[in-house]
Structure 1
Amino acid sequence: MAFFGVRLSDDLAVRFDAFASSRGGRSKLLRQMIETVLRSGGGAPPAAEAELRARGRSEKVTIRLRDEDLTALDAACRQAGLRRTEWVVGLVRRRLLGRPQLSRAEAQALLEIRRDLRRIGVNLNQAVHALHSRGGEGAASAKELMAFRQEVRAQLEGVRAALEGDLSYWSGEDR
């Protein structure tokens, strides 16, 4: 059976208790009030419920594990630098959604890489613009740009490999 808790000011609680005392007490009166509201169509419309879920409302799921499973889970959590809930949610989301589940540190590192790559892209565009404005002169500059391009590709390959490693971890492929 679900439990609803609510905080009230002391004055409001005293007034409600006085009102509820002749009607079977707090719990009985609250149940009756909730039933009355829901019977009269006061429930949340389905669209509002969907919106709540879309905004991140979550439900609690409880699992029971044997001691050896819990020990293995704790070891995996320590290795990944995640709390139990984060690790289990990552596993479930990876399985259900098929996309990487990054720790905070990994997500932050990827954001920094993205920022760096954007800066590199801006610099590269400026260098290409300067090269074109000179009429294509400067073979050394063209070679430098090609080397720079290769370096960016190598860094992008590193990001791709990191994401694939994350996917294989959550898929259990790294065992």
Structure 2
Amino acid sequence: MDRLTVRLPPDLIRRFDAAAAGRGGRSRFLRSLIGGAAQGALPEPVAPLVSPRDAKLSLRLTADDMALLEAEAARTGLSRTQWTVALIRRRLHERPQLSPSEAIAFVGIQRELRRIGVNVNQIARALNTAVLEGKVLDLEVAQLADFATEIRAHLVGVQDAFRGNLDYWSDR
């Protein structure tokens, strides 16, 4: 048997319950109303109004599971729906799912890496165009090596963050 779910404002459901009380209760009364409405000729089939992007999934959880879900979602800075969608997308698409704070952190890392990249390009351009001798060249080469080390450290941090994100959303 199929199930039909309807969301109604509290006042309307109270009035419906009052009307249904003398007619066998909510379910029986609703079935009789639907049956009466369906007595006419069937309408021509139309294309479904729900696209894959609009599909909805409903879950029934125990109160304990819902409390755990809400606590875990809050801990990650997501709503329970966002957290559940992220979990499903991680499993389906095998890509990291970032919370708002993680996304902001990654934007900061990208900004820093761009800044370092600009500095490295300036140094490389200066080394290519200038004829430097002695200590000046040694200082430029040392600074370039420092930037390379800093870039590698940031890249390791990004890899660790992505690995941690993937581990979080994977089977435990």
TM-score band, normalised by shorter chain:
0.5 to 0.7
SS at match of 1:163: helix
Q: 1:79 aligns with which of 63, 70, 75?
A: 75
- The question of 1:156 aligning with 2:155 is answered yes
What stretches of structure 1 of length at least 5 have no aligned partner? 4-27
- The question of 1:125 aligning with 2:121 is answered yes
Q: Deviations over 1:56-97 (max 9, x none)?
A: x23110111112211211221121111000110011011111
TM superposition shift of 1:124: 0.8
Aligned position for 1:105:
101
TM superposition shift of 1:108: 2.2
Aligned position for 2:9:
none
SS at match of 1:35: coil
Task: Name the TM-score, length of structure 2 as normaliser.
Answer: 0.67
Aligned position for 2:143:
144
SS at match of 2:54: coil
- The question of 1:135 aligning with 2:134 is answered no
Change (3 A) 1:85 1:123: same
Task: Name the TM-score, length of structure 1 as normaliser.
Answer: 0.66
TM superposition shift of 1:156: 1.1
CA distance in 1, matches of 2:105, 2:165: 13
TM superposition shift of 1:36: 4.3
Aligned length: 133
What percentage of residue pairs aligned between the two structures are identical?
A: 41
Aligned position for 1:7:
none
Q: Which amino acid aligns with 1:35?
A: P
CA distance in 2, matches of 1:120, 1:35: 65
Superposition map of 1:15-34 within 5 A:
none
What stretches of structure 2 of length at least 5 have no aligned partner? 7-36
RMSD across aligned C-alpha pairs, in angstroms? 2.5
The structure 1 segments of at least 4 consecutive aligned residues displaced by more than 3 Å after TM superposition are 34-38
SS at match of 1:82: coil
Aligned position for 2:112:
116
Aligned position for 1:35:
43
